[in-house]
Amino acid sequence: MKALVVVDIQNDFLPGGALAVKNGDQIIPLVNELMDHFDFIVATQDWHPADHKSFASNHLNHKSGDQILLDGLEQILWPVHCVQNTPGADFAANLQIDRFDKIFQKGSNIHIDSYSGFFDNGKKQDTGLFDYLEENQIDEVFVVGLATDYCVKYTAMDAQALGLKTSVISDATRAVNLQEGDFEKALEEMRNNHINVLTSTLILK
């Protein structure tokens, strides 16, 4: 059975948000349309405490984009975003969240970031997403959302590593692009890890 995994389509990642992904809002109508083609839909939600250590403002003499070691892992420092129970952490207003079977929150441990919808970046804790998919006889996932080069990529990579047949619908994602070309690099990295990269036309036809 197949599932659509909708990654982090939240206000802070949309134009005008604290960590805006360029044109991130443009995927929302397409994601809503794709939902019509799946009987099972789950979503991930970035859900940080205000004192999260991935926020540049919580480190003296550091700015967004700097890299540090956090709990032994390389960490990019980000602007404050998706703080629990704030409007920035809410899903986009025009995203059809009533279609979600379940929402999985991530990034709530202040000491470690969580790009993937399955695990934190150190794979010390899991969100329960894989167990939920397994309980519902899901063996194939299609990943959409924000952002291609971070949370979408790591969610897809973990899904594939966990034995799920995994596809990313590339035109239903957008990238942060800290470096020019990061979108294309992310797609290539996923292909190299046996993830199917396709466009929505194959689903909607």
pLDDT over threshold 90, residue 71:
no
Backbone angle region of 101, left / alpha / beta, with phi > 0 → left and psi within -120 to 50 → alpha = alpha
Q: What pLDDT, in 10s, does the model give residues 72-124? A: 889 899 999 999 999 999 999 999 999 999 999 999 999 999 999 999 999 99
Q: Is 82 among the catalytic positions?
A: no
**How crowded is residue 43: how many other Cβ atoms within 10 Å of its Cβ?**
26
pLDDT of residue 126: 95
Q: Give the range among 51-65, 126-140, 169-183 with minimum mean pLDDT.
A: 51-65
Instruction: Report all structural domains of the chain as residue ranges with CATH numbers, in order of start.
Output: 23-46+94-204 (3.40.50.850)
pLDDT > 90 fraction of the chain, expressed in percent and rounded: 92
Catalytic residue among 25, 113, 151, 153: 151
Could you confirm whether 22 is annotated as catalytic?
A: no
Residue-level pLDDT at 70? 84
Averaged confidence pLDDT in the chain: 96
- Check if the beta carbon of residue 187 is closer than 8 Å to that of residue 198: no
Catalytic residue among 106, 113, 120, 149: 106
Where does the pLDDT of residue 54 fall: very low under 50, low under 70, confident under 90, or very high at 90 and above? Answer: very high
Mark whether 8 is an active-site residue.
yes
pLDDT at 205 (0 to 100): 84
For residue 168, what are the contacts with CB-CB under 8 A and spacing of at least 6?
A: 142, 143, 144, 148, 152, 153, 156, 187, 190, 195, 196, 197, 198
Q: How far apart are CA 200 and CA 205, in angstroms?
A: 8
Report pLDDT for 81. Answer: 97
Choosing from 8, 12, 25, 46, the catalytic residue is 8
